Amino acid sequence: MAKGMREIKRQIKSVQNTRQITKAMEMVAASKLRKAQEKAQAARPYSDKLREVVTSIASGTKGIHHPMLDTRPVKRVAYLVVTSDRGLAGGYNANVLRHVSAEIRKRHTSADQYELFVIGRKGRDYFRRRSMPITEVVAELSDFPTYADIKTLAQAAVQGYEEGRYDELHLCYNQFVNPLTQIPTLTRLLPMDAMEAADQGSVKASYEYEPSAEDVLAVLLPRYAQTLIYNALLEGKASEQGARMTAMGSATKNASQLIGDLKLVYNRARQAAITQEITEIVAGASAQN
């Protein structure tokens, strides 16, 4: 019995140590979440203004063409997937990877029909274990990445479409709603729909372009696509911190409940041991009489 009680005490101590860790991780994630949200919000005005200019040119200028606006028969597709470098974030990575895997299984019968651009170690490891075709990877990013961190990957993804290596580019990431809710999102990034983008953006200004609207569009469209990729990364980072904060909060609550259950078991075992000792003493005294 004494051995069993010592084992229960060790379990209680172990769970208490774990609870301290999960509580600290919850607080750190909460602090990082606030900063990640601020960074995502700070990037929106730039992308909104780019969208305004791009939609003004694409929908308001007749006879203008660009490969990124032209829809062509889909023979090959690229997916840019945003995941994290670390775990302990609940279903953050599993949800987005499950979402993109289901899309790939539904649309493709061969690995030759698609390729992957991956942000994050978790996504890289997931696709490598399944021998899926990865073109480029960016991993080991900070919790507050800059555009320079993913510039090479974003440019390569957009350039691959312009060169005709694939006919669609899809962006897969977790859209941040609140700390409790992150929505796995798969959206077509390229080709862009000029009319749809124009409906979403309220164009209020009139522009004059030098040297020409077509030349300006040729520069802005790739930059706009790359900006959307960076914004998706910032959304993903906010979602990651929200998911981690929620997961660590749940782990802390579960640890507290487990400690309570173990203490109850320990007290019952202790009471049983004391009762047994009293019974043995009484039995011994009665035997002497």
pLDDT per position as a tens digit, 86-106: 999 989 999 999 999 999 999
Angle at 245 between CA 21 and CA 148, to 5 degrees: 105
User: Which residue did the predictor score with more confidence, 58 or 271?
Assistant: 271
Percent of the chain with pLDDT over 70: 91
Q: Tell me the chain's radius of gyration from C-alpha atoms.
A: 28
CB 242 within 8 A of CB 90: no
Pair (7, 131) in one structural domain: no
Do 12 and 68 lie in one domain? The reply is no
Residues 113 and 163 in one domain: yes
* Residues 46 and 71 grouped into a single domain: yes
Identify the residue whose tokens are 């929505």.
183
Both 166 and 264 in one domain: the answer is no
Mean pLDDT, the chain, rounded, equals 87
Sign of the C-alpha dihedral computed for residues 129, 135, 140 and 141 taken in this order: negative
Give the number of other Cβ atoms within 10 Å of residue 237's Cβ.
27
Domain identity same for 274 and 191: no
Range name among 150-164, 207-221, 245-259, 264-278 with the lowest pLDDT average: 207-221
Same domain, 42 and 14: no
Same domain, 258 and 215: no
In 3D, which of 5, 16, 10 has the Cα closest to residue 268? 5
Q: Domain range holding 265?
A: 2-21+252-288
* pLDDT number for residue 197: 47
Separation between Cα atoms, residue 252 and residue 254, nearest integer Å: 5
**Do 40 and 169 lie in a common domain?**
yes
What distances in angstroms separate CA 196 from CA 51, 59, 192, one per listed residue? Answer: 11, 9, 8
Domain with 271 in it: what CATH number? 1.10.287
- CA torsion sign for 19, 25, 28, 32 is negative
Domain harbouring 119, CATH code: 3.40.1380.10
Residue 279 pLDDT more than 50?
A: yes
Structural domain count, the chain: 2
The pLDDT, as a whole number, for residue 278 is 80
Q: Are 181 and 273 in a shared domain?
A: no
**Which amino acid is it at 152?**
T
Ramachandran angles phi, psi of 85, nearest 5°: -90, -20
Same domain, 178 and 212: yes
Is 70 exceeded by the pLDDT of residue 2? no
**pTM higher than 0.75, yes or no?**
yes
